[in-house]
């Protein structure tokens, strides 16, 4: 058993009609075969970097503990449950694409390359970006 102080797991139920929409019909691919989306949350009132490191480590311990019970190859995740531990974009052009692919396949699975093409066509200067944006190609 894992004992942690401030980690909360939120289970959002899936299934039913979610299974009827093909994974490539929208950017959101997490449909067929998924019973839940699990959101890991942690809050604390203690101040300082030591407390922050302690609670973030607790969250990572829970994430590792759950590995046996969740999706694999890749371990998928939902973009709105942002997780910088799975990677951030570094560089631009092909380097941005390569680093973006690491987290992009977890968020978008087989839709990632299609979304890169759309982003490149619609926002070629990458004006709308964050540390886990869909990258643009040169």
Distance of CA 1 to the CA centre of its chain: 26
Query: Which pTM does this prediction carry?
Result: 0.77
What's the average model confidence in pLDDT over 2-25?
A: 82
pLDDT at 76: 82
Long-range contacts from 90-94, C-beta under 8 angstroms, 24+ separation = 92/126, 92/135, 92/136, 92/138, 93/137, 93/138, 94/137, 94/138
pLDDT at 43: 85
- Compute CA distances 128 → 21, 61, 101, 103, 125, whole Å: 28, 33, 17, 17, 8
Residue 81 a catalytic site member: yes
Which has the higher per-residue pLDDT, 121 or 60? 121
Annotated active-site residue in 14, 55, 81, 107: 81
Q: Does pLDDT of 9 surpass 60? A: yes
Residues 6+ away with beta carbon under 8 Å from 69:
none
pLDDT at 97: 94
Please provide residue 36's backbone torsions phi and psi, each rounded to the nearest 5 degrees: -145, 155
Provide the residue ranges of all domains of the chain, joining segments of one domain with +. Answer: 7-69, 82-138
Rounded to the nearest integer, the mean pLDDT of the chain is: 87
Q: Which conformational region is residue 70 in: left (phi greater than 0), alpha (psi within -120 to 50 degrees), or beta?
A: beta
pLDDT at 2: 55
Distance CA 131, CA 87 (A): 9
Q: Does pLDDT of 46 surpass 80? A: yes
Q: β-strands 36-42, 7-13: how paired? A: antiparallel
pLDDT at 115: 96
What's the average model confidence in pLDDT over 64-85?
A: 81
Distance CA 135, CA 28 (A): 17
The 3-state DSSP class for residue 118 equals helix
């Amino acid at each position: 058993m894992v004992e942690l102080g401030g980690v909360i797991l939120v289970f959002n139920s899936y299934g039913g009609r979610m299974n009827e929409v093909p994974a490539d019909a929208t950017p959101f691919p997490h449909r067929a075969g998924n019973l839940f989306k699990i959101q890991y949350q942690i809050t604390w009132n203690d101040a300082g970097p030591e407390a922050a490191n302690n609670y973030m480590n607790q969250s990572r311990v829970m994430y590792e503990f759950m590995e046996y019970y969740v999706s694999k190859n890749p371990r998928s995740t939902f973009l709105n449950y942002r997780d910088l531990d799975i990677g951030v974009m570094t560089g631009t052009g092909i380097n941005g694409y390569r680093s973006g692919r690491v987290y992009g396949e977890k968020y978008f699975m087989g839709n990632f390359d299609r979304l890169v093409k759309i982003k490149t066509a619609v926002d070629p200067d990458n004006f709308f970006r964050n540390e886990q944006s869909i990258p643009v190609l040169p």
